[in-house]
Structure 1
Amino acid sequence: MSLRRLLVTLQRKSQFQEYLTPETTTDTTTGFSTQNSTDYGVKLINSSPSQIPNQNQDQKTSKSWTIEKSEELYQIQGWGEPYFAINTAGHIMVSPKGNGGGSLDLLELVESLKQRNLGLPLLIHFSDILADQIAQLNACFAQAITRYKYPGRYQGVFPVKCNQHRHVVEDVVYFGQPYQFGLEVGSKPELMIALATLLTPDSLIICNGYKDREYLETALLARRLGHNPIIVLEQLEEVQLVIEVAASLGGITPVLGVRAKLSTQSMGRWGNSVGDKAKFGLKIPEILQTIDQLREAGMLESLQLLHFHIGSQISAISVIKDAIREASQIYAELKGLGVNMQYLDVGGGLAVDYDGSKTNFHASKNYNMQNYANDIVAAVKEACEEHQIPAPTLISESGRAIASHQSVLIFDVLSTSDVESQSPPLATEQDHLIIRNLWETYCTIDLENYQEAYHDAIELNQEAKSLFSLGYLSITERAKAEQLYWACCQKIREIIRTQDYVPDDLADLETIMASIYYVNLSVFQSVPDCWGINQLFPIMPIHRLDEEPTQRGILADLTCDSDGK
C-alpha cells in the first residue's frame, strides 16, 4: 500500500484562489505534485507535533472504530462547525455557506483538481465561508442590539494586516457592502489598499499605526475624495502633526480618534497590548492633553472616536468584559468633557477555537460570537444610561475570526522514518556485558517493573554510546545495543498503553517512539505562524475517517532547516 497521504490544515495567511475554478493553484513552495497518489492518511495536531495520531499501514484497524470516534478525536465539532464535518463515507465535508447551503466532499474536490493537472500541495480559498462569517458577526451584533434595546448601531471593519492578499480583501469588501463593512489599516500601503478597494462611501477606514506627514495627508485627502477615514491618534506627537497637516491642506476637517491604554490586564501571547508599556496608545493624562491641544486649535469637534485594543486571540470572555467596562467609562467621561464622541472602537481580540476545546486555553476560547456581541452591547448601554449620554456607534476590528476558516492547505506525505518494530537480536555469552544487560532488561520487563526497566534501558544505552566513543565497543555492538534499547521502549510502550495512569517520567515515551513523516510543503512558507509564534492549527485527514489511527507521528517538511516540523 502506498505511503502517500493527504492532509488538510486551516490557514490564516496563504495564497490561494477560488475553489473549483480554473484559477485554483498549487502551492509552489516545494514543486512536488502527487498525480498518482491514491492513499490518504490520518494526522492530527493538538498542541505539539508529538501528539499526532497516525495510521500504521501494516496494522489492521479496529472494526469498532466509528465516524463519531473520529469526530471526538479530532474535535472537529469544536473548531470546524458549521463549515467542516465528516460524512458517512468517512470523508471531510465542507459547507461553505454554513448551515445555510449545500456541501461538497473535499476528497472529490481534490481529485477533480488533480484531473486538471494541479499538484499538491494546494491552498484553497472558500469565499462563501468568508461571506458567512461576515454575515454572522453582523447578525450577532444586530441580535444583541435588539435584545438590549441599544439605541446605537454596529459597523465593523476588517484589519488588512490579518490577510493582505488581494482576493481576500476584495471579498471582504464585496460581501461586507450590505453592512457598510470597512477596513482597518496600520500603514500607508494598507491605506492605499483600502482606498483602492472600498466601494461603499459610508464604510469606515480606521487609520491606526505609526503616522508620518505623508500618511496623514493621504488620509485627509481621502476624505475629500468621498471616503470616510478616521485617524486614530496613538502617540502624543501625532496631535500637533495632524493639526499642521489639516491646516496645510486648505482646512480639511478630519475625523479623529484616540487610542487609550487600558489598565485591564489581558492574557495570552498578546497580553502586553494593554497597560502602560503597550506599544501604542495614550495614557489618560495624555488623552486629556490631546483634548486641550485640539480645543486650542479649534478642532475639538473632530475628535469623535475612542479606540482600545487588548490583544489578539483573547480566550477568556472575562477579559473582554473588564476591558469594555473600563472603556465605556472613559468614553462617557470624555463625552462629559464636551468632546464630540460618536464611535467606540473595541479593537480586535475575538478569538478562534483552534483546538476545539472551548476553554480559555490560548488556542481556544470559552465563549462564542453571540456572547462577545452581547457583552459589548450590554456594557456600553449600561454606561451610557448611567451617564445619560447618547449611545455610540460600535466598531470591532475582528480579523482572524472572519478569515481563519475560509482557506485550507492540502498536502501529502512522501515518506516516513520509523522506529523498527522487529524482534531484538539475541544476546550471547560472547557479547559485551552492556549488551547482555540490555537483553536481560528486555526479557524481564513486566507490569511490575516497567518503570524501573525504562530507566535501566536509558542508562545502559547511554553507557553503550560512551563505550563506543572511547573505542571499547565496535560499531556492530553499538548497533545491537541500540536495537535492544528500542525493543525495550516498544515493550514498555505496549504496557503503558493499557494503563489508566502513566508516570511522569514515561510521559514522553510516545514522543520518543513517534515516526517522522516527511510532508510535501514548507512550514516557513505555508504555515509561518506555526513556526514563528507557535500558533496551533488543526490538522486532520480528508478521508479514511472510519478507520482507527494507531500510531503517533511528527510532521517534517522538505526544507533543510531543522525547525521545519
Structure 2
Amino acid sequence: MGLESLLDEKKEGKKLKKLAANWSIEESENLYRISGWGDPYFAINAAGHITVSPHGDRGGSLDLLELVESLRKRKLGMPLLIRFSDILADRLERLNSCFAKAIARYKYPGTYQGVYPIKCNQQRHLVEALVNYGKPYQFGLEAGSKPELMIALATLPPQLDRNEKASRSLIICNGYKDREYLETALLAKRLGHRAIIVIDQPRELDWILHISQQLGIKPLLGIRAKLSTKGEGQDRTAVGDRAKFGLTVPEILAVVNRLEAVDRLDCLKLLHFHVGSQISNITVIKEAMREASQIYVQLAKLGAKMRYLNVGGGLAVDYDGSNTNFPASKNYNMQNYANDIVAAIQEACEQANVNAPTLISESGRAIAAHQSVLVFDVLGTNHIRHTPPEALGKKDHTIVQNLWEAYQGINPSNYQEAYHDAVQLKEEAISLFNFGYLSLTERAKVEQLYWACCRKILNITRNQDFVPEDVQDLEKLMASIYYVNLSVFQSAPESWSLNQLFPIMPIHRLNEEPRQRAILADLTCDSDGKIDRFIDLRDVKSCLELHDFRIPETHAKTPKTEEIEPYYLGMFLVGAYQEIMGNLHNLFGDINVVHIAMTPHGYQIESVVKGDTMNEVLSYVQYDAEDLLERMRRYSEKALADDHITLEESQRLLQDYEQSLRRYTYLVDDGL
C-alpha cells in the first residue's frame, strides 16, 4: 500500500469526522451484535472501548484497549492472543450448575461428571487451569490420541481410593489405539486413575482382552455407538453406518456376547455417542438422546454393569448472537441442553426400571471458546477510487462520453438499468483497448467512471427496502481492503478451511460511526488469506463496518509506522481449536500469548508465552540459522571483494539478517 492511498484515507477521514460525532455506543452494540454473542463477558464502555468481565455477571471488568496498550509497553507485539483464565472457571461453573439444576428439576437419581476433550485446545496452561478449576466437580479429561493420553495421565492427579463406586475424575480414552496406548491406559489404573477405554472399532476388543489378561488388570470399558440420528454441524458425519468411529447395533451385540463369553461383561460401564460439533438445533440433541437412551437401557438389560452415559460434544457456541439454528448460532441455551439430556435418560431408565447413569459430556467448545481473544492491528488500507474525472475532453472516445452520460443520469428509479449499462460499457472499453482502439488514458477514465457509477448506485441501494439480486454484490465489490498483521492460516484456520464465523470488531473507537465497508487481508501471499464473511442476524455479510485509518496531520506527507494511530481489531470466541489447528503458511509462526487473571485490585499477568522467532520457524522446516548466517557472510565477502558492496553496507546487511532471525515472524513496529 503506497503513500498515496494513505493520504486518500486521511482526506476521507476529515470529511467523515463530523458525521461520526453523533454515533452512540448503543448503535455499535447493535451493529456488531456484541450483547448477543458476548454476554456476559464482553461489552462496550462509555469511552467506546471493549470491556472484558472474566467473572461474567458476578462483577469485575477491565478495558481491553488499556490492556493491549499495557502489553505493548512490555514489548509484546501484535498479533496477540489474550487468554482470560477466569472465563474458563466461569464456564465450568455454569455448565455444572446447569446440570445440577436439571438433576434437581427432574429429581434425577444420578449425577453429572464432565470431561474436557483435550483436542479442543491442548495448550498446557489451559489444560492445567481446567484441571485445577474442575476439581470441585471431579471434572476429567478426554484423550483422542496417544499424545493426548500422555497429557491426561500426567496432568490429572490420580486418586488412590480403591473403592470402585467412589466419585473420581474420569479419563475417557477415545480414538485409534495401539498396544502401547492400551497398556498405558490399563496400567494407569494402578496409579489411581479411572481411565475408561472406549471401543471405537470392533477389532479393539480382542487387543484389550489380551493385554488386560497379560497384565492381570480388569479394564473399564465403554462402547461408542453409531447412531442413526441425523448429525449436524462440522462433525455431522460422526453418526450413521459410515461414520469414522463407533459400532453399529449388531457390532455392539457382538461385543456384549464376546465379553459375556469370557466373563468380562461386568467391565462394560459406559455408552458413548457423538452427533457432531457445534449442534445449532436442539432437536438433533433430543433425537440423539432418545436413541442413545434406549441403547443404554437395553445394554443394562443384557447384563452389562452400565454406569455412565457419555453424550459427547456438540454443545454449541452462539458466534453471531442470533439465538437461531443458523450454523454459527444455536436455538437453545446451556440450561435447555442440560434439561433435555437429563429428561431423556430419566424417562428411559424409569420405563425400563434401570438405574440412572452418571452423565458425561465432552463440551470442549462451550468451555474453551470464550476465554481467548485475538487482537491484531491494521497495517494499512486500500480503497477503490470512485471519484469521476473532473471533465471530459472533446477528443475523448465515444465510449467514455457514453459512460459519463450514464453516470450523470443515475437515480433511484433507474439504478438497476444504469448498473447493467455501466458493466456493458466497461467490457466494451476493455475489448477496444485490447485491440488498440482505446488509449491508456481513456481506459483509465473508463475505469474511474465505472467505479463512480458503482458508488453512486451503491449509495442508492443502501436506502432501498428491496435490492435486485444482480446488484446485491456491489457492497462486496466496492469494499475496501484492510491489511491486518495476522495469518489467517495460523490463527483462524477454521475461518479459512470450514468457513467458521467468528465475531470480529474494533476494540476501540466504538463511540464513532464506522463509515467504511471492508474485508480483511492477512500477511500471507495466498489469495485465500483473507476474511470476507462476517456475522450478521441469521445470515452472513460480506463486509465489516470499520473506521477510517487515521494518519497524523503533521506527518501526512511522510508518515512513519510508529506515528500512524493504531487501529486494533479483535476476533472473539477463538479459544476452541484455532490455536492447535494453525499452520505455518509463509512461515508465520505461533503468536504471542498472554494469560490474564483478575485480582481484587484489577488484573495480573499470570504468564507470557512468546511467539515463534524466525529462527525457530525456520528450524521446523530443517534450516539451521547459523548455517544460513554463514552463507550470507560468504556471499557478502565475495560481493565485497568484487566491489559490489561497501564494507559498511555488508555489515549492515549481516546485522539486519542476524537480528531478523531472532525476531517475531510478524511485522513489528520500530517503536517496539
TM-score (norm: length of structure 1):
0.89
How far apart are 1:272 and its partner, in Å? Answer: 1.1
CA–CA distance in structure 2, aligned partners of residues 465 and 423 of structure 1: 18
Partner residue of 1:437?
Answer: 402
> How big is each residue's C-alpha offset from its partner over 1:444-493, in whole Å with a ceiling of 9 and x where there is no partner?
11122110010110111111112212222221111111011001111111
1:59 to 8, 12, 16: 16
Q: Distance in 1 between matches of 2:267 and 2:389?
A: 80
- Which deviates the most, 509-518 or 65-74? 65-74
- What is residue 335 of structure 1 aligned with on the other side? 300
In structure 2, the partner of 1:356 is 321
Match of 2:132 among 174, 188, 195: 174
| 2:218 match: secondary structure | coil
1:561 matched to which residue of 2?
526
Of 297, 317, 335 in structure 1, the residue corresponding to residue 282 of structure 2 is 317
**Aligned mates of 1:421, 1:413 — CA distance in 2:** 23
Q: Which amino acid aligns with 1:341?
A: M
Q: Tell me the secondary structure at the aligned position of residue 305 of structure 1.
A: strand
Counterpart-to-counterpart distance in 1, 2:449 and 2:158: 70
Q: Within 2, Cα distance between the matches of 1:421 and 1:485?
A: 8
* Counterpart Cα distance in 1 of 2:20 and 2:83: 35
Could you tell me how far apart the structure 2 residues matched to 1:312 and 1:497 are? 36
User: 2:252 maps to which residue?
Assistant: 287
Deviation readout 1:95-137 (Å, 9 max, x if unpaired): 0111123000111111111222222211111000011001110
Aligned twin of 1:402: 367
Residue 522 of structure 1, aligned match among 487, 499, 504: 487
Mean alpha-carbon deviation: is it higher for 450-459 or for 463-472?
463-472
Superposed displacement of residue 267, structure 1: 2.1
Note the C-alpha offset of 1:63: 4.0
Task: Indicate the residue corresponding to 1:256 in structure 2.
Answer: 221
1:245 to 211, 216, 221: 211
- Match of 2:16, as an amino acid? Q
Q: Tell me by how many angstroms 1:426 deviates.
A: 2.7
Question: How far apart are the structure 2 equivalents of 1:114 and 1:397?
Answer: 36
Change (3 A) 1:365 1:560: same
- Is 1:102 matched with 2:67? no
Cα-to-partner distance string for 1:503-549 (whole Å, 9 max, x where unaligned): 11111101010000100111111111111211111011111111111
The partner residue of 2:82 within 92, 102, 124 is: 124
Match of 2:157 among 196, 199, 202: 199
Report the AA paired with residue 238 of structure 1. Answer: E
The amino acid that maps onto 2:186 is L
8 Å Cα contact 1:428/1:436 also seen in 2: no
**2:29 aligns with one of 71, 94, 100:** 71
Tell whether 2:178 aligns with 1:212: yes
Structure 2 CA distance, aligned partners of 1:56 and 1:279? 54
Q: Which residue of 1 aligns with 2:91?
A: 133
- Counterpart code for 1:111: E
Output the CA distance in 2 between the equivalents of 1:97 and 1:56.
38
**Alpha-carbon distance in 2 for matches of 1:290, 1:58:** 74
- 3-state SS in 2 of match to 1:377: helix
| Within-5 A mapping of 1:457-536 | 457-536=422-501
Alpha-carbon distance in 1 for matches of 2:440, 2:434: 10
Q: Is the 8 A contact 1:185 1:206 kept in 2?
A: yes
Q: 1:271 deviation in Å?
A: 1.4
Counterpart check, 1:276 vs 2:241: yes
Measured against aligned partners, the alpha-carbon deviations of 1:413-463 in whole angstroms (never above 9, x if no partner) come to 011110114333433331112211111111111122110010110111111
Aligned to 2:121: 163
Letter in 2 for 1:59: L
CA shift, 1:328, in A, is: 0.5
Mapped to 2, the partners of 1:358 and 1:200 lie a distance apart of: 40
Aligned partners of 2:207 and 2:154: how far apart in 1? 25
Which of residues 499, 510, 514 is equivalent to 1:545? 510
Moved more, 352-361 or 434-443: 434-443
Measure, in 1, the Cα distance between the counterparts of 2:218 and 2:353. 28
Deviation digits for residues 22-51 of structure 1 (CA, Å, limit 9, x no counterpart): xxxxxxxxxxxxxxxxxxx9xxxxxxxxxx
Amino acid at match of 1:156: G
Residue 227 of structure 1 aligns with which residue?
193
Counterpart CA distance in 2 for 1:276 and 1:102 is 49
* Deviation by residue 1:182-206 (Cα, 9 ceiling, x = unmatched): 0001111000000110025321000
Question: Following TM superposition, where does structure 1 have runs of at least 4 consecutive aligned residues deviating by more than 4 angstroms?
Answer: 55-58
3-state secondary structure, aligned to 1:93 = strand
Deviations 1:148-204 (A, max 9, x none): 110000000000000011111111111101101000011110000001100253210
2:158/2:192 contact within 8 Å kept = no
Structure of higher CA gyration radius: 2
Identify if the C-alpha distance between structure 1 residues 155 and 57 changes in structure 2 by more than 3 Å, giving closer, same or farther: farther
**Contact 1:264/1:323, CA 8 A, preserved across alignment:** yes
Any idea what SS the aligned residue of 2:373 has?
A: strand
Counterpart of 1:334 in structure 2: which amino acid? L
Which amino acid in 2 is paired with 1:493?
L
Q: Does 1:424 align with 2:381?
A: no
Q: Which amino acid aligns with 1:123?
A: L
Which is worse superposed, 148-157 or 87-96? 87-96
Whole-angstrom CA distance in 1 between matches of 2:488 and 2:471: 29
Deviation at 1:270, TM superposition (A): 2.0
Question: Corresponding residue for 2:356?
Answer: 391
Partner amino acid, structure 2, of 1:211: K
> Within 1, Cα distance between the matches of 2:236 and 2:101?
30
Q: Report how far residue 275 of structure 1 moved.
A: 0.7
* One-letter amino acid of the structure 2 residue matched with residue 129 of structure 1: I
Counterpart AA for 1:270:
D
Q: Deviation of residue 57 (structure 1)?
A: 6.2
Which amino acid is the alignment partner of residue 282 of structure 2? I
> What secondary structure does 1:413 align onto?
strand
Please tell me whether residue 456 in structure 1 is matched to residue 421 in structure 2: yes
**2:387 and 2:449 in contact (8 A); partners too:** no
Q: Distance in 1 between matches of 2:525 and 2:32?
A: 30
**1:445·1:492 contact (CA, 8 Å) conserved in 2?**
yes
SS of residue matched to 1:59: helix
Distance 2:509 2:105 in 1: 44
Give the counterpart letter for 1:79 in structure 2.
Answer: W
| Change over 3 Å in CA distance of 1:153–1:173 after alignment to 2 | same
Q: CA 1:57 to 1:113, structure 2 compared with 1: closer, same or farther past 3 Å?
A: farther
- Which secondary structure state, in structure 1, belongs to the residue aligned with residue 186 of structure 2? helix
User: Which amino acid is 2:459 matched to?
Assistant: E
Matched residues, percent identical? 67
Q: What's the secondary structure of 2:423's corresponding residue?
A: helix
Which stretches in structure 1 are left out of the alignment for 5+ residues? 4-40, 42-54
Distance 2:192 2:389 in 1: 78
CA distance in 2, matches of 1:268, 1:107: 34
Q: TM-score, normalised on structure 2?
A: 0.75
Is the deviation greater in 107-116 or in 552-561?
107-116
Contact map agreement 2:232 2:277 (CA 8 A) in 1: no
SS of the residue aligned with 1:498? Answer: coil
Q: Which residue of 2 aligns with 1:35?
A: none
- What CA distance in whole angstroms lies between the structure 2 residues aligned with 1:545 and 1:139? 34
